Every structure is written in structure tokens, then in C-alpha cells.
Amino acid sequence: MCRAFLESPFIFLRIKIKSRNNVSKKSRILVIPQLTRVGDIICVTPTFRAIKEQYPDSFLAVLVSNKAAGILKNNPRIDKIIIFEEYTSHELVCVIRELDFHWSLNLSATSNGSIITFLGMVNNRIKTIRRNRPKSEVLTDWLNNYTFVYEDHTYLPKHHLKLLNPMRINNPKDTKEVFVSAAGEQKAAEFFARNNIKSNDFVVGISISAGNKIKEWGDDNFRKLTDNLYEKYGAKIIIIGGAVDDSRVEKFLRGSNKPMFKATGFSLEELPSLIKLLKLYIAVDTGLIYIAHALGIPLIDIIGPVDPKEQPPSDAKSIQVLPVPYVPPSSFVFKKNGPANISRQAIKFTSVESVLDATRQLHTL
């Protein structure tokens, strides 16, 4: 931040000399989503599409963590993925300067995004700002040309798209996108063939883990759920997780006398190919829910403490299972999380029966 302040007269002069280009067909655009959270990144994919539909010859780069980059590697809207961990702060600023961006969209609402795009001499710098933000953001927001306030309890993809107004992109669709790879398609087909899963089977994917412990529904609940799915529908159940979930999934499978399949060997780049073959996907509100939604797969989102208005999908194929009786949300996109006891209540009051009721509604789709 000190560097940005000390160099600001020189940088403002350089940007003025470069000229604050109006958006054009060949504009160079940098998007900074939340770096690591897959669900948040998928909520930015409508922004990528809107930019490329309006300006197909533009150059679009995305700054992202290596942890989440796999979900974007096959996205044809993106010309370059910049991996955050591959650079020091100084090197990252140099990379941004070399790529000579005309526009940046700091959707992560971080002060770091403001600093690196300013020091990187991006002509036009657009940022999401939040109410009750930390001092580090307040002290760096002046580094941006345009700021848009995110109002709590509003749908995040629509907010992202509002930031495109200065680029003369108005009222684009908020449909999410996820793309598959040839390697992922082959791996998913081999998984189905190896486990004798047919295309006309009622194939249900379930993830028992969550990226955030406050969302955990519990293995006992999932075990009761899978028992019912097998007995009532003859479901072919695939337990999906990452490599870090392997031992937990193994333990879960050993604790059940129902036949199920383990899928913990798929990378983030390969997972869309597996998920698109499902008839139904069930999980707490985590990244794979958003992959399923982008692929048009019927899904059940066990909301728990998450604010149902901010990110989770809700449409004819997507059912949010909320706690009963009602528990106010305590997990938000930007706002500080609420008390842990409220989060636990949200989980406690989400029954297996409510998830089965949602399954009945989606079974015939």
C-alpha cells in the first residue's frame, strides 16, 4: 500500500499518457475473482461470456489460484490464466504491466486487487466494494476508477455483471458455464464402464464433505440418505470427493451395506465430465453444486447456514433444502460469518426426510 501511495503521481501520469482508452473490440481485460473458491469462480463465468460475446476480439485474462485453476482451463472465453502463486507481488505487477491491460475487474473486493492493478498501470480499474469493509480496503479504494457496492443478500452473479456497465455491456444473461476436457470425458466413460453403470440408471452423485466445516451435514445423515435412495429408487450412488477426501469416503463406504462407488480420483479439470453424467447431484453448498448447476444437472443443495439469496442456485432443476424451523443464515459471500451456534442449528434442523422430499420432486426430470 505504501508503494502505491508513493508511486501514485508517477503512475497517474503514465496512465494519462497511455490514455484512458474507451472499451474497444480489442481491449485487454483482466478479471480477478475470489482466487480459491470454486463456487465463487463459477459465479463469474457469466461475466467471461458477456465480455466475449460483446467483444469477441478482446484479450481476456483471469488471475486465479492454482487450487482452482482447473475449473477454468477448458473455458474457451479465457485467453490467459495467470496463476497467483507463481509470482511474487513485484513479479505479478510486472506481468500485469507487460500484458498492458486496458480494463480490470476486481470482483474479489480485496485491497490487494486494487494495489496490483494500479501498480500494474491498468487504465480503467473496476472494483466491488462492500459495506463495513476493513480499513485496508477503505484506504485503497481510491486506486480504482469505478466502484460498485455489493448489497448483502443479493444474487452475486448479477452483481458481477453490473460491473460491466462502464464497458458498455448491459443486461447480459447470468447463466453459468463449465466446460469439459477430452481426458475428462474418457476418464468418466471408463469409470461408468468399469462399475457397470448404464446411461439409463438413476445415477446419483453425493459429496459428503464440505470445503467449510460449518456447512458439514454429517456422515450419519448421508448414510441414512443413501440407504433410502437405494431402497426406494435402486439408485446407483457415486460418492464424489477430492483426493483429500479419500480416507473419509472409504470409511463411509465401509460403514454401509449398500453398494456404492467411490470417485475421489478425478481432478477439478476432470470432474465436470463425471458430474454431467449424473441424473441427480446432492451436497451441501460447495463448489461442485455450482458445477452441476452450470451443466444443467438436477441438484439438491443442502443450504445449512448459507444465505440462500446470495449464491446458491434456485430454479426448476435446483432445490434448496432449508432448515425447518427457519434458522437465519450465518454464512455469507462478503459479510463476516455469524455465531457458530446458529450455524450448528441450521445443520441440526435439516432433516433427511426434507432431502428425500426434494429427491421425489426431481426424480422424474
pLDDT tens-digit map of 299-327: 999 999 999 999 999 999 999 999 999 99
Are 162 and 75 in a shared domain?
Answer: yes
pLDDT of residue 2: 57
Are 50 and 189 in a shared domain?
Answer: no
> Which amino acid makes up residue 299?
L
In this prediction, residue 128 has a pLDDT band, given cuts at 50, 70 and 90, of: very high
Q: Is the confidence at residue 127, as pLDDT, over 60?
A: yes
Are 146 and 71 in a shared domain?
Answer: yes
Are 114 and 221 in a shared domain?
Answer: no
- Which residue range is the domain that position 194 belongs to? 182-362
Q: Nearest-CA neighbor of 205 among 171, 249, 244, 161?
A: 249
When computed from its CA atoms, the radius of gyration of the chain, rounded to whole angstroms, is 22
Are 299 and 293 spatial neighbours (Cβ–Cβ below 8 Å)? yes
Which of 111, 144, 167 marks a domain boundary? 167
Are 149 and 211 in a shared domain?
Answer: no
Are 52 and 183 spatial neighbours (Cβ–Cβ below 8 Å)? no
Is residue 198 included in any domain, yes or no?
yes
Which of 109, 133, 167 marks a domain boundary? 167
User: CATH number, domain at 61?
Assistant: 3.40.50.2000
Are 221 and 358 in a shared domain?
Answer: yes
Strand runs labelled E in the chain? 28-32, 59-64, 80-83, 103-106, 124-130, 146-150, 203-206, 236-240, 260-263, 280-284, 299-302, 318-321
Are 86 and 77 spatial neighbours (Cβ–Cβ below 8 Å)? no
In this prediction, residue 16 has a pLDDT band, given cuts at 50, 70 and 90, of: low
Are 194 and 142 in a shared domain?
Answer: no
Q: Which residues pair with 263 in a beta bridge?
A: 240
The whole-angstrom separation of Cα 57 and Cα 141 is: 30
Are 151 and 214 in a shared domain?
Answer: no
Which residue shows C-alpha cell 442456485? 313
